[in-house]
Amino acid sequence: MELSGQNSPRRNHTTLVEFILIGFSDVPKLQGLLFGIFLIIYIFILMGNSLIIIITKVDPSLKTPMYFFLGNFSFLEICYVSVTLPRLLADLWRQSGNISFLACAIQMYFFLILADTECFILTAMAYDRYVAICNPLLYPVIMNSRLCIQLAAVCWTTAIPIHIGFTSVIFSSPFCEHNEMNHFFCDVPPIVQLVCGDTFIIEILTYMIAALVVITPFLLILGSYVKIISTILKLPSATGRAKAFSTCSSHLMVVTLFFGSGIIVYFRPKSTHSTGMDKYFSLFYTILIPVFNPLIYCLRNKDVMVALGKFLQKWTVL
């Protein structure tokens, strides 16, 4: 994960009471347009994911582990974008990016928790697909309601204690007089760039946490799909192979988008690193991917489309 090591030249330490998020103030003529675009995106994310949550709760045909995790994932997406997008909309509206020290710490803390939770839930969804395709006869026994609830609880709570300590370490560090971040929310790299002195401990913690909550889930998902694809290819009929692959293709697309964009932003070479570009790259995994998810899971999933059609038809009649 690309962070700033030591700040040079050294500046005097100071007690900061607020940060300034530069956001998109470098394009002042587009502030109104950007506000409208991001508002529409936020409304779409809220409506799209809310519909998925509702239909997975009310439609009997979707009372399966796969859709239990999909409902959790959709709720997570609403929380995930709500950490950054409303703040961005407010900053665009008032054309000011001032954020208090405490508010910045809280925003970063919840962003990191929810981003890690997304990694864990995607891993749980991959495990569900692995059991369904590789052990279909044992699937109802293994993926019982108790295990599903336990997995969801682990996904939602694991990152909470990790980032209490991590956030405390960052925000208890001495900061320099410069308090401007060329970003639209409080993320780790732009905040660490404002820390005075040696940031070696923060960097080590960052890599350790990344290995635990990003790399490990990604490798588990990768291993699951190696097994899944191997099993699918051994199926005797082309129809069976197509049906099996269709049940996990949506999840595979979301995994590719989420982890792929994160790797591009945080693990690309230093020679291509640019603080200004990070701001625009991060739009992809913080805002655009949550837009794609409802589309991917609805348009590529016949069961969801049928359930959505019945739900909309019922409310149209009423």
Rounded Cα gap, residues 194 and 298, in angstroms: 42
If DSSP states are collapsed to H, E and C, what string results for 196-250? CCECHHHHHHHHHHHHHHHHHHHHHHHHHHHHHHHHHHCCCCHHHHHHHHHHHHH
- pLDDT digit string, tens, across residues 290-317: 888 888 777 667 777 788 778 777 776 6
Structure tokens at 182: 């060329």
Mean pLDDT of the chain: 84
Per-residue confidence (pLDDT) for residue 10, from 0 to 100: 46
Q: Count CB neighbours of 231 within 10 A.
A: 16
- CB burial of 195-226 (b: ≥16 within 10 Å; e: otherwise) equals bbeebeebbebbeebbeebbeebbebbeebbe
The Cα 274–Cα 190 span in angstroms is 11
Q: What CATH homologous superfamily does 13-317 map to?
A: Rhodopsin 7-helix transmembrane proteins (1.20.1070.10)
pLDDT at 274: 57
pLDDT at 275 over 60: no
User: Higher-confidence residue: 240 or 182?
Assistant: 182
Amino acid identity, position 164: I
Given a cut of 90, is residue 31 above it in pLDDT?
Answer: no
Higher pLDDT, 124 or 232: 124
- Taking residue 149's Cβ as centre, other Cβ atoms within 10 Å add up to 11
Using pLDDT thresholds of 50, 70 and 90, give the confidence band for residue 9: very low
Evaluate whether 42 touches 286 at the Cβ level (below 8 Å): no
- Nearest CA to 136 out of 256, 234, 57, 253 is that of 234
- Domain residues of the chain, as ranges? 13-317
Residue 47 amino acid letter: M
Measured distance CA(134)–CA(165) in Å, rounded? 39
pTM for the predicted model, two decimal places:
0.88
